[in-house]
Structure 1
Amino acid sequence: MYYNGIYHFFYQYNPKGAVWGNIVWGHAVSKDLINWEPIEPAIYPSKHYDINGAWSGSATILPNNKPIILYTGLDSNSIETQNYAVPANLSDPYLRRWIKPGNNPLIDPENEGGVNASSFRDPSTAWRLNGRWRVLVGSNRNRRGIAYLYESRDFIHWTKAKDPLHSAPNTGMWECPDFYPVSLSGKEGLDPSDHGKHVKHVLKVSLDVTRYDYYTVGTYLTDEDKYVPDNTSVDGCAGLRYDYGNFYASKTFFDPAKRRRILWGWVNESDSTEDDVKKGWAGIQAIPRRVWLDPNKRQLRQWPIRELNSLRGKNVQLSHQELKTGHHIEIKGITAAQADIDVSFYIPTLDKAEPFNPNWKNAEDLCANKGSKVEGGVGPFGLFTLASKNLEEYTAVFFRVFKSSKNHVVLLCSDARSSSLRDGLYKPAFAGFVDVDLADKKLSLRSLIDHSVVESFGGGGKTCITSRVYPTLAVLDNAHLYAFNNGDQTITIKNLNAWSMNKPQMN
Structure 2
Amino acid sequence: MSGNCTELDTIFNLPNIGLTAIGPMYYNGIYHLFYQYNPEGAVWGNIVWAHSVSTDLINWKKVEHAIYPSKPFDKYGCWSGSATVLPGNKPIILYTGIVDENNTQVQNYAIPANLSDPYLREWIKPDDNPLIVADQFINKTSFRDPTTAWLGRDGRWRIVMGSRRKHRGMTHLYRSKDFKHWVKAKHPLHSTAKTGNWECPDFSLFRFLDRYIPDKDMVDGWNGLRYDYGNFYASKSFLTLVRIEGLCGVGLMSDTTENDIKKGWAGIQLIPRTIVLDPSGKQLLQWPIEEVETLRRNKVELSNQKLAKGEKIEIKGITAAQADVDVTFSFNSLDNAEPFDPSWDRYDAQKLCSQKGSTVQGGLGPFGLLTLASENLEEYTPVFFRVFKDQNMHLVLMCSDASRSTLMDGKSHMKNGNNAYKPSFAGFVNVDLKEKKLSLRSLIDNSVVESFGEGGKTCITSRVYPTLAIYGNAHLYAFNNGTETVHIESLKAWTMSKPLQMNH
Fold shared per TM-score above 0.5? yes
1:383, 1:481 within 8 Å by CA — same for their partners in 2?
yes
CA distance in 2, matches of 1:148, 1:471: 42
- Residue 308 of structure 2 is aligned with which of 311, 324, 337? 324
1:263, 1:291 within 8 Å by CA — same for their partners in 2?
no
Given the alignment of the two structures, is residue 163 of structure 1 paired with residue 187 of structure 2, yes or no? yes
* 1:233 Cα offset (Å): 2.8
Look up the match of 1:31: 55
Look up the match of 1:185: none
CA distance in 2, matches of 1:47, 1:379: 58
Look up the match of 1:245: 230
Look up the match of 1:82: 107
Task: Give the residue type in structure 1 aligned to 2:469.
Answer: A
Look up the match of 1:71: 95
Look up the match of 2:117: 92
Given the alignment of the two structures, is residue 20 of structure 1 paired with residue 5 of structure 2, yes or no? no
- Residue 141 of structure 2 is aligned with which of 98, 118, 122? 118
Task: Answer with 300-309 or 161-170: which moved more.
Answer: 161-170
Look up the match of 1:274: 258
Deviations 1:345-375 (A, max 9, x none): 0011111110012433211111111111111
Q: Secondary structure at the match of 1:264?
A: coil
Task: Give the residue type in structure 1 aligned to 2:107.
Answer: Q
* 1:70 Cα offset (Å): 0.3
Task: Give the residue type in structure 1 aligned to 2:62.
Answer: P
Aligned residue pairs: how many?
465
CA distance in 2, matches of 1:26, 1:337: 29
Task: Give the residue type in structure 2 aligned to 1:233.
Answer: M
2:159, 2:203 within 8 Å by CA — same for their partners in 1?
no
Given the alignment of the two structures, is residue 395 of structure 1 paired with residue 381 of structure 2, yes or no? yes
CA distance in 2, matches of 1:227, 1:381: 38
- Residue 234 of structure 1 is aligned with which of 212, 219, 232? 219
Look up the match of 1:373: 359
Given the alignment of the two structures, is residue 453 of structure 1 paired with residue 448 of structure 2, yes or no? yes
2:275, 2:284 within 8 Å by CA — same for their partners in 1?
yes
RMSD: 1.2
CA distance in 2, matches of 1:365, 1:226: 33
CA distance in 2, matches of 1:139, 1:173: 5
CA distance in 2, matches of 1:166, 1:417: 35
Look up the match of 1:499: 494
Look up the match of 1:203: none
Given the alignment of the two structures, is residue 51 of structure 1 paired with residue 75 of structure 2, yes or no? yes
Look up the match of 1:483: 478
Q: Secondary structure at the match of 2:249?
A: strand
Deviations 1:324-352 (A, max 9, x none): 11111110000000000000000111111
Task: Give the residue type in structure 2 aligned to 1:255.
Answer: T
CA distance in 1, matches of 2:487, 2:259: 41
Q: Percent identity?
A: 65
Given the alignment of the two structures, is residue 334 of structure 1 paired with residue 318 of structure 2, yes or no? yes
* 1:281 Cα offset (Å): 1.0
CA distance in 2, matches of 1:270, 1:145: 24
Deviations 1:268-326 (A, max 9, x none): 11111010001111100111011111111111110000000000000000000000111
- Residue 10 of structure 1 is aligned with which of 28, 31, 34? 34
Unaligned runs of 5+ in 2: 1-24, 410-418
Which structure exhibits the higher relative contact order, with contacts defined as CA atoms closer than 8 Å and separated by 6 or more residues?
Answer: 2
CA distance in 2, matches of 1:90, 1:488: 63
1:377, 1:489 within 8 Å by CA — same for their partners in 2?
yes
Superposition TM-score, scaled by structure 2 size: 0.91
Given the alignment of the two structures, is residue 419 of structure 1 paired with residue 388 of structure 2, yes or no? no
Q: Secondary structure at the match of 1:368?
A: helix
Superposition TM-score, scaled by structure 1 size: 0.90
Q: Secondary structure at the match of 1:290?
A: strand
CA distance in 1, matches of 2:295, 2:396: 31
* 1:262 Cα offset (Å): 3.2
- Residue 469 of structure 2 is aligned with which of 470, 474, 496? 474
Unaligned runs of 5+ in 1: 182-191, 196-219
Task: Answer with 265-274 or 137-146: which moved more.
Answer: 137-146
Task: Give the residue type in structure 1 aligned to 2:128.
Answer: N
